[in-house]
Structure 1
């Protein structure tokens, strides 16, 4: 079955057409668009269909935000997406919407060893629920319920739950962000925006000014990427401290989410940031923060922890979900 799939995020919208055979995902066409350059998903879809045609039987779109009753809102964009509206406008007989992390969870089934990097092997032949957490433009979280035979993905908006500090400097970070935002979620510290927030806080906390060369790099492109690059190149002590704190917080929230859904079957770290800071995630701080859960530490150490390297995982998942739903009709 040929499926139009979409991974709709606050930064990029990725569209592709797949031929979904048994355990085979053949990509027939693909294009990436800058989400903020368009006023709606419909505008992007029109461009894609004008270029690649409509030779597909169904469509599935993973959205970076909650989806309820066939309607989705992209959290970091002013987009409201309606399943029925898309079907009517583009004459697509079957359209499906799901949360983008739920789409990532669906996509795990077609990944190979080359698409994954193991941080913690965990218990041999680990079984049970799985969790997935992805820092990118925002912070996504989802789970896969183990029914004894297979994993069933489900969505979550856990990234918007309350940030909980665990040290004096993190308490100061919470107070700083509370003045700026009011409600402080985990997304405000573990995301591209989160890294910027941590860097801004540390500049104020340490009473340090941003070097001119870094300010120019931040203003000239991706601010979070500029901070991360300066940290990895050890060119800016504040950036280095910011990235280290980001990694520690990422590990802590990954552990929080895994513990809440008893992810004894494994934890997956997705999103666009993780592959770019893989060296930092392999350092002790990430797993130490993941493991440190008091009396549950042994349980956490048994959980396999794996980084997803394939940026198309959500696209695969959206296509698989749409194909599965179409097959039930």
Structure 2
């Protein structure tokens, strides 16, 4: 039954929303359409326009969004949009509807991505498919969520793990934390204030301030400077990657993701080819006498741009299987 089910799935990003049709767990990539968020007042008119254009009559619908979701209702962090199941049901005519946090959708997807959408940063023995996984996102923001598989259902508990305290371990990092607090947050900064797109900008600005210069560049220009070998950009990237490795290692000890760790997000995609040389693995395994224990965890970088849509489709497929 689920594999014959037609679903509409949507991934709300900061600038664009992508909508597609899915058959069971398979997203029809030819059906993907992009809608500029600034031209619409919410997800409901986007879905109505998409279904009118395609003529589809979906039986199920799922939307993922960047923001907290509770009891089927979510509010986006960077858009004044409210997403709720009742409105989705009305907009799509679907009987089965669901709203997910965007990282929940990524977590559901990781067990269904092909080799083309993944690259392995740290290899480890293959474990049973029921073992927990961990998804870590670094892009516009920072978050991480464990992924559990139980009786055919993928469970991704919500979290706001990007706002934990910065794990300072050196005098340099203490100066960085205090500088960000003074110049940007005006309060105790959380780790997201360093590990995100804007966080990368702050770390670079601090590297410049350490040399007595005031420089503010967007992340895209810092990435370009890093690729050109500019010393301060390389230093900023190394700080960010080592903090990311330490953070990911801490979470691995908390969740024991023997099914693998999956790094996702725009900043990850830019830094992915350089994570090893910038010290990710060393920082990830730097756990004292538990360093050998860390060798059990594989780490992968997700490059599949449609992973969140796949997660929405898989989530609906699992819901229908459970109810069948």
- For normalisation by structure 1, the TM-score amounts to 0.86
Does residue 1:237 correspond to 2:231, yes or no? yes
**Does the 8 Å contact 2:205/2:214 carry over to 1?**
no
1:91 deviates by 3.4
Question: Distance between the aligned counterparts of 1:5 and 1:302, measured in 2?
Answer: 35
Does residue 1:100 correspond to 2:94, yes or no? no
**Does the 8 Å contact 2:138/2:264 carry over to 1?**
yes
SS in 1 for 2:234: helix
Deviates more, 1:181-190 or 1:60-69: 181-190
Question: Distance between the aligned counterparts of 1:53 and 1:169, measured in 2?
Answer: 58
**Does the 8 Å contact 2:109/2:311 carry over to 1?**
yes
Match for residue 6 of structure 1 among 4, 7, 10: 10
What residue number does 1:254 align with? 248
What residue number does 1:323 align with? 317
Match for residue 292 of structure 1 among 270, 276, 286: 286
Deviates more, 1:139-148 or 1:190-199: 139-148
Match for residue 195 of structure 1 among 200, 222, 235: 200
**Does the 8 Å contact 1:177/1:184 carry over to 2?**
yes
Match for residue 112 of structure 1 among 111, 114, 125: 114
**Does the 8 Å contact 2:21/2:27 carry over to 1?**
no
**Does the 8 Å contact 1:13/1:34 carry over to 2?**
yes
Distance change (3 Å), C-alpha of 1:282 and 1:37: farther
**Does the 8 Å contact 2:27/2:309 carry over to 1?**
no
Distance change (3 Å), C-alpha of 1:305 and 1:261: same
1:202 deviates by 2.0
1:84 deviates by 1.3
Question: Distance between the aligned counterparts of 2:205 and 2:38, measured in 1?
Answer: 24
- For normalisation by structure 2, the TM-score amounts to 0.88
Pairing of 1:32-71 with structure 2 (within 5 A): 32-35=34-37, 38-71=40-73
Contiguous gaps of at least 5 residues in structure 2: none
Match for residue 147 of structure 2 among 137, 144, 147: 144
What residue number does 1:171 align with? 174
Distance change (3 Å), C-alpha of 1:237 and 1:33: farther
Deviates more, 1:140-149 or 1:101-110: 140-149
Contiguous gaps of at least 5 residues in structure 1: none
1:276 deviates by 2.2
1:133 deviates by 0.3
**Does the 8 Å contact 2:106/2:311 carry over to 1?**
yes
Question: Distance between the aligned counterparts of 2:40 and 2:225, measured in 1?
Answer: 31
- Figure out how many residues of one structure are paired with residues of the other and give that number: 316
Question: Distance between the aligned counterparts of 2:188 and 2:284, measured in 1?
Answer: 24
Does residue 1:123 correspond to 2:125, yes or no? yes
SS in 2 for 1:142: strand
Q: Pairwise CA RMSD of aligned residues?
A: 2.4
1:76 deviates by 3.1
1:188-209 CA distances to partner (integer Å, 9 max, x unpaired)?
1111121112122222232224
Distance change (3 Å), C-alpha of 1:251 and 1:60: same
**Does the 8 Å contact 1:73/1:81 carry over to 2?**
yes
SS in 1 for 2:213: coil
1:126 deviates by 6.6
Question: Distance between the aligned counterparts of 2:147 and 2:111, measured in 1?
Answer: 11
What residue number does 1:81 align with? 83
